[in-house]
C-alpha cells in the first residue's frame, strides 16, 4: 500500500477502538466468573479473536454483538446452531437467545486430568499464549497450547517454569522454552512462586489473574519488574472483577482465595492505537483529537503523550478525549521507554525527521516481540537513509532528511502502523503486507483515510486501484493475479478477506448466517480495501448488488467488468461444490442464467470498462485491460 501524504496541516477528530490489553484481560477474567459478564466497547481483532476461540474451546460461551461481548461460562454446544462466529474487525450485529449458564469445568480435589483433550491455538497472539497457558493448568484434560510460526519463536520458558513450581505438569513438544506445549495436569498449588521480572510482564499478569482461583499465592519477582504499567492494568482489571492484589512495590505480589464477579465491564479506548495519529499530528503540524480516551488511564502507552510534549507538541486533556496540537518540527530526545516498548517504533519514525540525535533506552524486550523489532527498525530506517546504532538496551537514531521507501513489515502490525506515519509527510512511502494491522487494529487504514487520504482520486492517477467485477467464472481471480504480476502491484481477493475475517469458508458463512449477513460483511470489507491505492482488487460476483459498495470502490478505483456468456460461465465453473447456490434453480446452468439476468444491468451501470472474455485467454484479457486503461 502506498501512503498519500498530507498537503497541509489538518484538524480532525476520530474515534478509536477499545484497548486490546484491557479487552483480553476482561475476557480472561470473565471466563473465571460464575455468571454472565457483558464487555462494552471491546476491541475485536485477530488478537482478541484468538483469545475468544481458546476460551470457547475450553467450554466458555462467548457471543460477540454490536459493540459488546457477552461471556457465559459454560459449553459451546448450548449455543443455538450457527451463532458462534465472530467477524474480525466488524462485530456481528444479530442478537441471539441467551444460552443456559453452566460453569467452566475444573477439578477440585486432585491433580489428575480426565481423558478429554483440547487443542488451543493462540495463533499470533502473545497475550493469548501467556494467559491461556495458565488457565489451561486448572482445566481437566490434556491440553495442547500452540501458536503459528512467529509466535512459536517467542519464549515462554520462564512462565512454564513458574507454573511447574505451582505443580503443573507441562511438556515441550518442540524446542525447550518455546511453544507448543502439552499440559497434563489440572490443578495448581498454593505457595510461593519465583519468576524473573525482566522478560515479559505478561508472564506475571498471567500468574496474577489465575492466583485467586488457586488460593494463597505469593509471586516473588527476581530482578527488576519491566513494563510496570501493564502490571497496574492487570491489577486494576482484577479489582473491577472483585479480586484484590497486595503489590509490594513490584518486588512481590500476594493474593488469597477469591471469587471473580462482575456484570458489566467497559473497555476504554486504546492509547496504542491512538499513538499513530498523535504522531501524525506532531510530524505534520496538525491538530488531532482522539475520542473515547481516558486522560487518567493506567495504559502504559499513555506515556507517549509526555514524550510528544517534550518534543515540542501541545497536549490537551478533556473528559473523554485527548488532543495533540503538533508543532511540525521534531526535536531529538533522550528517553527511557522500558515501560512503553510498543511505542519505540513510532518514536523511531519521528526521530528520523529530527534535526539531531535521539537516544532511546529500555529497548531490550523488543527482541522477543512479534519480530526482532530492534533489528526491523534499523533495517527499515536504513532504507530511508537514516543511520542508527544499538546496544542490548539502547537505540540511537541520527535524524536528518529521510527519504521514502518500501517498508517490510515482518508480519508485525506495529511496523506497518508506525512507518505509515512517515507517509503523512513523505511522498512515495509504501507499506508491504498492510493487512498485518488486523492483529490489533483492523480499521487502521480506514481511520488513516479520515485524516490523510483524498476522498477521490483522479481517473488518470496511476495509483488508482483496478477493480475487477463480474460473475463467478468470469476469470476475476486468475486475471487479477496476472495483472498484479504484470504491473508489479499488490493483489487482493475480496472473498478471501471476508472468509478470513469470519473464520470460515464462504459456503459455510452463507449456510450458517444467510446471504443478508454475507452482504453486510462484504460491504464492511469493501470499505477497508477502498482506502488502498495501487492495488488490483478481485471482487465477489454479487458486490454490485450493493450500490454503496460500488460507490465506495469507484472513489479509489476503476471498475473493469469481465463479461462472459452463460455457456462460458457454465464451462468454467463446472460443478464446483464449494460455491453456494444463489437461487432455487435445480442445476448450475439455470442458476447462472437467472443470476446473470438479475445482475446484467447492475454490472453495466457499475463498470467503467467492459472486457468480453468468451474468446480470450487470461493473458489476453490482461492485455485488453492494459489497452483500455
Q: Residue 79 and residue 623: Cα distance in Å, rounded? A: 51
Question: Residue 229 in contact with residue 340, Cβ under 8 Å?
Answer: yes
Element (H, E) at 476: helix 476-487
**Using CA atoms, how far apart are residues 30 and 70, in angstroms rounded to an integer?**
9
Q: Cell for 135? A: 488457565
Closest CA to 294 of 269, 331, 330: 269
CA distances from 552 to 16, 56, 523, 529 (A): 22, 36, 9, 9
Angle between helices 201-214 and 20-31 (to 10 degrees): 20
Yes or no: say if 74 and 45 are a contact pair by the CB < 8 Å rule.
no
Catalytic residue among 47, 270, 301, 342: 342
What is the rounded distance in angstroms from the CA atom of residue 331 to the CA atom of residue 341?
A: 20
Distance CA 606, CA 229 (A): 52
Q: 142-146 and 170-172: which strand pairing?
A: unpaired
What the block records as the C-alpha cell of 55 is: 476460551
Examine the residue annotation and report whether 342 is marked as an active-site residue of this protein.
yes
Closest Cα partner for 37 from 49, 47, 27, 46?
27
Take residue 368 and report the three cell numbers written for it.
Answer: 522477543
Whether the ω angle into residue 173 lies within 30 degrees of 0, i.e. cis, is no
Q: Would the CA dihedral through 546, 551, 554, 560 be positive or negative?
A: positive
Strands 264-266 and 37-40: parallel
On the CB side of 262, CA atoms within 13 Å amount to: 27
CB 353 within 8 A of CB 283: yes
CB 62 within 8 A of CB 56: yes
Cα Rg of the chain (Å, integer): 26
Three cell numbers, residue 396: 540511537
- Contact yes or no for 291/269 (Cβ under 8 A): yes
The residues, ordered by sequence, that sit 6+ positions from 43 with a Cβ below 8 Å of its Cβ are 17, 18, 19, 20, 23, 267, 270, 440
254: which 3 cell numbers? 500476594
Say which residue the cell 476520530 belongs to: 14
27: closest CA among 44, 39, 41? Answer: 39
Alpha helices in 82-227, H assignment, sequence order: 126-136, 149-152, 157-165, 201-214
Distance from C-alpha of 397 to C-alpha of 251, rounded to nearest angstrom: 33
C-alpha cell at 41: 466497547
Phi, psi of 560 (to 5 degrees): -115, 120
Q: CB 531: neighbour CB atoms within 10 A? A: 23
The strand pairing partners of 170, in sequence order, are 183
As beta bridge partners, residue 335 has 360
Quickly tell me which residue has 465477489 as its cell: 540
Helices in 339-405 by DSSP H: which ranges?
344-351, 373-383
Enclosing H/E stretch for 550? helix 547-556
The residues carrying an active-site annotation are 342
Amino acid at each position: 500500500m502506498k501512503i498519500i501524504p498530507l498537503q497541509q496541516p489538518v484538524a480532525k477528530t476520530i474515534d478509536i477502538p477499545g484497548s486490546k490489553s484491557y479487552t483480553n484481560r476482561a475476557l480472561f477474567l470473565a471466563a473465571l466468573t460464575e455468571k454472565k459478564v457483558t464487555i462494552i466497547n471491546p476491541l475485536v481483532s485477530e488478537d482478541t479473536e484468538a483469545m475468544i476461540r481458546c476460551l470457547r474451546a475450553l467450554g466458555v460461551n462467548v457471543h460477540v454483538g454490536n459493540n459488546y461481548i457477552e461471556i457465559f461460562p459454560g459449553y459451546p454446544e448450548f449455543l443455538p446452531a450457527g451463532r458462534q462466529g465472530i467477524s474480525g474487525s466488524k462485530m456481528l450485529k444479530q442478537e441471539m437467545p441467551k444460552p443456559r449458564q453452566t460453569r467452566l469445568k475444573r477439578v477440585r480435589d486432585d491433580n489428575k486430568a480426565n481423558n478429554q483433550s483440547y487443542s488451543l491455538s493462540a495463533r499470533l497472539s502473545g497475550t493469548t499464549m501467556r494467559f491461556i497457558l495458565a488457565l489451561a493448568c486448572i482445566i481437566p484434560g490434556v491440553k495442547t497450547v500452540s501458536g503459528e510460526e512467529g509466535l512459536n519463536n517467542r519464549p515462554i520458558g520462564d512462565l512454564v517454569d513458574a507454573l511447574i513450581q505451582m505443580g503443573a505438569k507441562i511438556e515441550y513438544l518442540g524446542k525447550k522454552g518455546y511453544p507448543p506445549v502439552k499440559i497434563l495436569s489440572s490443578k495448581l498449588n498454593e505457595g510461593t512462586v519465583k519468576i524473573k521480572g525482566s522478560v515479559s510482564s505478561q508472564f506475571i499478569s498471567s500468574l496474577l489473574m489465575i492466583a485467586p482461583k488457586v488460593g494463597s499465592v505469593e509471586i516473588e519477582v527476581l530482578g527488576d519488574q519491566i513494563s510496570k504499567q501493564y502490571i497496574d492494568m492487570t491489577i486494576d482489571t482484577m479489582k473491577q472483577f472483585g479480586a484484590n492484589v497486595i503489590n509490594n512495590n513490584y518486588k512481590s505480589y500476594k493474593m488469597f482465595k477469591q471469587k471473580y464477579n462482575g456484570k458489566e465491564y467497559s473497555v476504554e479506548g486504546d492509547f496504542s492505537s491512538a499513538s499513530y495519529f498523535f504522531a501524525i499530528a506532531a510530524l505534520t503540524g496538525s491538530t488531532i483529537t482522539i475520542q473515547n480516551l481516558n486522560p487518567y488511564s493506567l495504559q502504559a502507552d499513555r506515556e507517549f503523550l509526555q514524550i510528544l510534549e517534550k518534543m515540542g507538541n501541545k497536549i490537551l486533556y478533556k473528559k473523554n478525549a485527548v488532543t495533540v496540537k503538533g508543532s511540525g518540527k521534531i526535536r531529538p530526545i533522550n528517553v527511557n521507554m522500558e515501560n512503553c516498548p510498543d511505542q519505540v517504533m513510532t518514536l523511531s519514525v519521528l526521530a528520523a525527521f529530527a534535526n539531531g540525535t535521539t537516544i532511546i533506552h529500555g529497548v531490550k524486550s523488543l527482541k522477543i516481540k512479534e519480530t526482532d523489532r530492534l533489528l526491523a527498525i534499523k533495517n527499515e530506517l536504513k532504507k530511508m537513509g537514516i543511520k542508527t546504532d544499538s546496544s542490548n538496551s539502547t537505540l540511537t537514531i541520527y535524524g536528518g532528511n529521510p527519504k521514502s521507501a518500501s517498508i517490510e513489515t515482518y508480519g508485525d502490525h506495529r511496523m506497518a502502523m508506525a512507518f505509515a506515519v512517515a507517509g503523512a509527510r513523505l511522498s512515495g512511502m509504501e507499506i508491504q503486507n498492510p493487512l498485518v494491522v488486523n492483529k490489533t487494529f483492523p480499521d487502521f487504514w480506514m481511520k488513516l483515510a479520515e485524516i490523510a487520504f483524498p476522498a477521490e482520486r483522479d481517473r488518470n492517477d496511476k495509483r488508482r486501484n483496478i477493480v475487477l467485477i463480474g460473475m463467478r467464472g468470469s476469470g476475476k481471480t486468475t486475471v487479477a493475479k496476472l495483472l498484479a504480476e504484470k504491473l508489479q502491484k499488490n493483489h487482493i481477493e475480496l472473498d478471501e478477506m471476508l472468509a478470513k475475517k469470519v473464520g470460515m469458508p464462504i459456503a459455510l458463512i452463507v449456510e450458517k448466517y444467510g446471504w443478508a449477513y454475507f452482504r453486510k460483511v462484504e460491504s464492511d470489507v469493501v470499505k477497508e480495501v477502498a482506502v488502498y491505492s495501487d492495488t488490483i482488487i478481485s471482487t465477489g460476483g454479487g458486490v454490485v448488488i450493493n450500490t454503496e459498495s460500488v460507490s465506495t470502490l469507484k472513489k479509489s478505483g476503476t471498475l473493469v467488468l469481465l463479461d462472459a456468456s452463460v455457456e462460458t460461465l457454465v464451462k468454467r465453473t463446472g460443478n464446483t461444490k464449494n460455491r453456494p447456490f444463489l437461487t432455487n434453480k435445480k442445476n448450475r446452468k439455470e442458476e447462472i442464467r437467472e443470476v446473470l439476468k438479475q445482475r446484467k444491468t447492475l454490472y453495466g451501470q457499475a463498470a467503467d470498462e467492459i472486457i468480453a472474455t468468451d474468446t480470450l485467454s487470461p493473458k489476453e484479457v490482461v492485455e485488453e485491460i492494459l489497452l483500455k486503461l
